[in-house]
Structure 1
Amino acid sequence: DPAGTADGGPAAPDDGSFSVSDKLRVPASLLLEIDNPREQVAGDHLTGRLVLRVMDESPDTPIGHARVPAEYDQTAARALSLVDTALWTKEYRGFFDGTTYDGTRPRLIAMTPHHHGNMPVVFIHGTASSPYRWAIMVNDLLEDRRIRDHFDFWFFSYATSNPIPYSAWQLRHAITQAVDSLGGVKADPALGHITLVGHSQGGLLARMLVINPGSRLWDGTAGRPLSSFHLNDSTRELVRETMFPTPMPEIQRVVFISTPQHGSYLAAMSIARFVGSMVSLPVRVTETARDIVTGAGDSTHLNNRVLRLGSVYAMSPHSAFMRTLPTIPIDPDVQTHSIIPVCGDPRDLTHADDGVVSYESAHIPGVQSELVVRHSEHSTQSNPATIAEVQRILLLQLAQNPPRDMQPGTARVASGHAARRAGRS
């Protein structure tokens, strides 16, 4: 694709980093409608028409004096979308190759075209994973018509072996491009009420979009101010874009699922570090790292970090990045929720974990809610308790941002985040 970049990073505004999926099957309902059926039955022949309705667009069907919602089997449609994906093979191959699960550049994938007034929900998968991990959750959530009628589901696909700040920067670009391509918050205030749902590493990417660290993240990771490095303009720009983030005004809510807020003990193990050393990183990342080491002048303490740029190293509780990130507060205007699975039913949560992340690592103070999902391992996205909690959170989001059809005679008001975004447009 000539619009893309060689290293999978953001390119031109029309680079295709936001698109509607071409692999999903859309549930539909075929209904035979017969006018005046009682009269026709008494006649010589019957006439009618077959009406095809798509789940996300169809109104109710008028039958007599009632309006009846059409029936759909969305489970079958979702299952057909997953046939022949060779999921596990693709996910792990993409991790080691430094690409997405299907070998494409990082991008935001929408299940359906955007409906004006619908609030986006962005699902961000974890390490060595893919958007397909959300299939069961999405299938169940869409059974709730309130969610189906008022939310659009987007999925971010990225190379999970890449540095976390770099992947977060790509996510930021993809969301910005999506919002802009849909006309921005001025055209549709619902685009200023985005919810991020991040699993594991995906939660860390989400956190990077709702913090304002100034120089703290860079200074804590590199050990010295950026001004002390002699860098070329391209490297300095990439460092500023990835390590000096600001909160995205469109993001109103974040749901952390199995997120290693203070690192994963599994990432600190020797086998994890060995696996991390085997992955391929984008050329732009490795060239930036070399330029940083060269630009450090007489400092040598960064040399050992050149080969430790990947996400596996960063998620170790002992990494400078992971020791710094939790000290940076989340924007107080963003509402946050934690869903933390633990194996078994431990009496003491301080010693509980999900097989990858400990409870103490996933727990952060100040969230609007925290749900501990007992008897659940790290991949808890398909757990009924987890799905029910995400459903509750989305309905809370809807209650706090009711659309016009739920507020007769009143205009929808953008939140402070959306207003700031509109002011920049």
Structure 2
Amino acid sequence: MACLSGCASTGAGHVVSVSAEALLEKAQAREMEAIRAQSAQAQEEAWLHCATLAHDAMAGEQAATKTAAGLLATQCSRAFFDLVAQGAPVQVKAGRLLLGALTLRVEFRGMPDSLAKSVYLEPADQVSMGPLGGARHHRAGFGVPMVAFSLPCPDRPICRLYTPEGVFRPATLWLEAPSGRDPHDDAPVLVVQNPLLRPGHIDGPNRYALAEDVSAPFAQLLERTRLKRLAWWGMIGGAEIGKRSGLFLLDDYDPNKTPIIMIHGVAGSPLIWARLSNAIMGDADLHRRYQIWHVVYQSNAPLLVERYRVQHYMDDAWRVLDPGGHAPARQGVVLVGHSMGGVIARLLCAQSTPDVWNAAFTAPMDSLHSDADDLATLKHVFEFKPYAGVDEIIFMAAPQRGSPAADGLLGRLVGLLAWRHIEEMAGIMRIATENPSAIQPAIESIFQAGHITSITSLRPDEPVSLADEKLMPAPGVRYDTIAGVMRGVKPPGDGYVPLSNALLPGSATTLIVHSDHKVPNNPEAIVDVLKILREHGHPHDVVSAP
């Protein structure tokens, strides 16, 4: 048996183990030394010895000793980290590392490949939950919950599926005595372990559940993002959100977990999903089943163009994550769409019809003359089939039959500003110029009056939208509707989408909540989504809320 910090020599060449109770007493004495110490180095040494001695005591047999040792090892590990960190994140990498005045050996246990070899550590309880409405999902246990973060990797295809702000993951930290396996390495060990992949720690005959905080990494990401400002600029043609567009993994990819793909609305961003995503990750059973993916897109283009863009981002992600197309994650995919994102989700699961084409053109597609790339884009925009693998959609405040607000001043302003920055529409305009007799008069007049954008395509009388609103999810795709109603709004609705335009016939369930247009932030709506996800993939009764 290897001798750690809890051993003593008899002087006759024999080594005997010190009892767990004696080790705990020594650790408690070291704790008092640390509190009374006058110098930072003396404090560091005392906290370190307190943590390692208490960790060794965790292998004891007595329940009271095991519990007290685990608590003290955690407290002393935290005190040591706070002392060397001095309120700032600490950069660590595997191997020997000088922290404060002491040399330790850092061990990463089960940490994900999405993190760089060198990561920054910050205590999870120092991260504000403001971006998440104050909701922190954490679990008590052994070790110090941390946020481990790094810049995204640059050298693998999957790197482009990580958020540009960086990679933020939960970790749990503690200190151990040298293992004794290497006689030339007597440095204490700073352990950084992934509590999601390895939720427990074994010390002797005892197993300890790790403390974890799954909200802090997400909150830290939200604190650093510029998406809120970029989203509004993107709606009127700002290029930065376009550069950020794509599908991004909130979790590390797991080929056996069902993806929940969240699609925001006009002038929106994944920030609208903050509270819902946090609630899903904070539910241990759901987080074991699901992985969350966020779509970012520049919301300036018409609906069919946005559907094409989002499909392209999803296709790109699958080519990276599952090039063979055989992962279980390909099946049972859930789409969650807010506002125009809900309409996009419906169109992603629908089959195009000639009526949609005929609403814009008077001649067959193969009779048009133009640049080959422009014609190819046009074909992708107007001809599509249900996206493979999706079997559930959750609509949240989705204007399935348009929104009268799109006819207002903002809609007209966006129409004037945004259209010149829509690459796909520029190609369609070139086709229209070269084939003037093939364009429906109503579409031609919209081009002339204000051009077609995301806002104009939400007008209830826009011809193409009138045709595509009849496209329903394919058979076998279940869909649920959640809509908002504000007091005093006439006609009833959320202030942007009338209730009658948000309700969709055939919904498995319909829930109406008292909310403005930001329905995904509504607590009742979040509870309903969690319920739908728990039942997803299992037989259940259809329930409709009044």
Per the TM superposition, whether the score is higher than 0.5 is yes
Matching residue within 463, 469, 473 for 1:330: 473
Change (3 A) 1:113 1:88: closer
- Aligned match of 1:96 in 236, 242, 246? 236
Q: Find the structure with the greater CA-based Rg.
A: 2
Q: Are the counterparts in 2 of residues 211 and 330 from structure 1 also a CA contact under 8 Å?
A: yes
1:21 to 163, 171, 185: 163
How many angstroms apart in 2 are the aligned matches of 1:15 and 1:105?
16
Partner of 1:170: 309
Matches of 1:294 and 1:340, distance apart in 2: 43
**Quick one: structure 1 residues 55 and 131, their matched pair in 2 at CA, closer, same or farther if it must change by over 3 Å?**
farther
Shift in alpha-carbon separation, 1:337–1:62, aligned structure 2, 3 A:
farther
Change (3 A) 1:19 1:278: same
* Contact 1:17 1:108 (8 Å CA) reproduced: no
- TM-superposed CA distance for 1:366, in Å, is 0.6
Cα pair distance change 1:172/1:390, threshold 3 Å: same
Which structure has more strand as a fraction of its residues?
2
Alpha carbons of 1:99 and 1:199: their partners in 2 closer, same or farther (altered >3 Å)? farther
Mapped contact 1:265–1:357 kept (Cα < 8 A): yes
Q: 2:217 aligns with which of 68, 77, 83?
A: 77
Q: Which residue of 2 aligns with 1:344?
A: 487
Establish whether residue 381 from structure 1 lines up as the match of residue 524 from structure 2: no
> SS at 2:282's partner residue?
coil
Residue pairs, 1:17-416, within 5 angstroms: 19-22=161-164, 23-32=166-175, 50-62=190-202, 69-99=209-239, 101=241, 103-184=242-323, 186-222=325-361, 225-227=364-366, 229-279=368-418, 280-297=420-437, 301=441, 302-306=443-447, 307-344=450-487, 351-374=491-514, 376-399=515-538
CA contact 1:17–1:177 (8 Å) conserved in 2: no
SS at 1:29's partner residue? strand
Query: Residue 26 of structure 1 aligns to a residue in which SS?
Result: strand
Q: Confirm or deny: 8 A CA contact 1:353 1:359 kept in the other structure.
A: yes
Provide the rounded CA distance (Å) in 2 between the counterparts of 1:34 and 1:112. 32
> Quick check: 1:210–1:331 contact (8 Å CA) kept in 2?
yes
More divergent stretch after superposition (311-320 vs 219-228): 219-228
Conserved in 2, the CA contact under 8 Å of 1:116 and 1:188? yes
Unpaired segments of 5 or more residues in structure 2? 1-155, 179-186, 540-546
Provide the C-alpha distance between the structure 2 equivalents of 1:17 and 1:177, rounded to a whole number of angstroms.
13
Secondary structure of 1:337's aligned partner: strand
Number of the residue aligned with 2:63: none
TM-score normalised by L of structure 2: 0.62
**Cα RMSD after superposing both structures:** 2.9
What letter is aligned with 2:425? V
1:147 and 1:31 mapped to 2: Cα distance? 28
Instruction: Using the TM superposition, give the Cα deviation of residue 224 of structure 1 relative to its aligned residue in structure 2, in angstroms.
Output: 5.3
CA–CA separation in structure 2 for the residues paired with 1:192 and 1:185: 14
Q: Identity of aligned pairs, percent? A: 23
What letter corresponds to residue 344 of structure 1 in structure 2? R
AA at the equivalent of 2:269: S
Amino acid at match of 2:390: I
Change (3 A) 1:164 1:56: farther
Distance of 2:386 and 2:439 partners within structure 1: 32
Report the Cα distance in structure 2 between the residues aligned to 1:193 and 1:299, rounded to whole angstroms.
39
Matched positions, count: 372
CA contact (8 A) 2:261 2:295 kept: yes
- Note closer, same or farther for the CA distance 1:385–1:291 as it changes in structure 2 (3 Å cut): same
Give 5+ residue unaligned stretches, structure 1.
1-13, 36-46, 401-425
Per-residue CA deviations over 1:160-201 (Å, capped at 9, x if unaligned) read: 012221221121122122223223575312222211111111
Quote the offset at 1:245 in angstroms.
1.1
Distance 1:77 1:286, change over 3 A: same
Query: Is residue 263–residue 295 contact of structure 2 (8 Å, CA) maintained in 1?
Result: yes
> How far, CA to CA, are the matches of 1:55 and 1:397 in structure 2?
26
Give the aligned residue type for 1:29.
T
CA deviation string 1:114-159 (max 9, x = no partner): 1121111111111111112211211121111112112111111111
Q: CA deviation at 1:365?
A: 0.5
For 2:388, the aligned partner's letter is P
| Aligned partner letter, 2:394 | V
TM-score by length of 1: 0.79
Mark the CA change 1:69 to 1:229 in structure 2 (over 3 Å): closer, same or farther: same
